[in-house]
């Protein structure tokens, strides 16, 4: 069960962790205008949870890992790579139906899947900055599967769009804290019915005693036609993901303390 914590919880006397949940961004008003101006587009997902956030703070160094919808949407390549945007039946009609009362912005093709390669926002303090290094160290999945007391758990949705009944596009978050550390999964998932599955996962794993947070980023994608029939229309996201082709796999260490040689 999800347990939001608007007031920060203290983890291991080292980290402050907080989550907030809010309603859907209104279709009009100042906040909406801020989004459209800041993102330089009128094209936004149907449901944006603009006040939903996760913030992880290293207390001593005041370094932050933050997740929010606005930063995620800044990583949508809205008007470029148009040839990579999936095509669906009636897509032209649908695009035009969403463009009434708008001007030039709607004349251009755009990424109506809202595909984002957002991996979270790393914030530095006045005195310290994250040091990011590539690594070959894998996430210890077996350790993450161990039964441990859950000190804190939450699930969040940053944005969601049903693609005019042509599928789904959403960005979600999960966090859990255990005595051994904390784990975060940020997932962008896309299903275009009869056409494509796409999943971009970012995982963060901190183990107590380490001077870094391990981050893994994986891009997976496959056309529906390449999958076995039992996976082509299933609603079991976790089952589908295992069948998708991996196009990118990146591992990094995010150091918050200097290492000794």
pLDDT in the model for residue 84: 67
What residues does each domain of the chain span? 9-255
One-letter-per-residue 3-state SS of 8-68: CEEECCCEEEEEECCCCCCCCCHHHHHHHHHHCCCCCCCEECCCCEEEEEECCCCEEEEEE
pLDDT digits (tens, 9 = 90+) for 210-251: 999 999 999 999 999 999 999 998 888 999 999 999 999 999
pLDDT digits 0-9 by tens, 25-50 = 999 999 999 999 999 999 999 999 99
Q: Are 153 and 182 in contact (CB under 8 A)?
A: no
Beta carbons of 25 and 31 less than 8 angstroms apart: yes
The residue count of the chain comes to 261
184 to each of 75, 181, 216, how far by Cα in Å?
19, 10, 10
**Average pLDDT score over the chain:** 89
Instruction: Using DSSP, state whether 236 is helix, strand or coil.
Output: coil
């Amino acid at each position: 069960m999800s347990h939001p914590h608007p007031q920060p919880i203290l983890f291991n006397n080292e980290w402050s962790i907080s989550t907030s949940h809010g309603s859907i961004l209104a279709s009009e008003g100042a906040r909406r205008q801020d989004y459209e101006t800041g993102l330089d587009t009128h094209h936004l997902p149907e449901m944006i949870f603009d006040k939903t956030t996760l913030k992880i703070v290293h207390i001593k160094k005041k370094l932050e890992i933050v997740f929010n919808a606005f930063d995620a949407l800044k990583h949508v390549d809205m008007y470029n790579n148009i040839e990579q945007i999936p095509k669906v039946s009636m897509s032209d009609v649908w695009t035009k139906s969403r463009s009434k009362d708008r001007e030039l912005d709607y004349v251009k093709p755009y990424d109506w899947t809202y595909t984002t390669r957002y991996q979270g926002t790393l914030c530095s303090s006045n005195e310290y900055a994250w040091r990011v290094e590539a690594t070959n160290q894998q996430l210890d999945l077996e350790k993450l599967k161990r039964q441990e007391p859950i000190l804190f758990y939450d699930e969040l949705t940053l944005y969601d769009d049903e693609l005019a009944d042509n599928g789904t596009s959403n960005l979600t978050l999960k966090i859990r804290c255990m005595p051994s550390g904390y784990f975060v999964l940020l997932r962008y998932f896309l299903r275009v019915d009869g056409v494509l599955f796409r999943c971009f996962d970012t995982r963060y794993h901190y183990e107590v005693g380490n001077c870094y947070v391990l981050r893994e980023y994986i891009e997976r994608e496959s056309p529906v036609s390449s999958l076995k029939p039992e996976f082509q229309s299933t609603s079991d996201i976790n089952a589908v993901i295992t069948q998708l082709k991996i196009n990118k796999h990146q591992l990094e260490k995010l150091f918050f303390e200097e290492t000794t040689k």
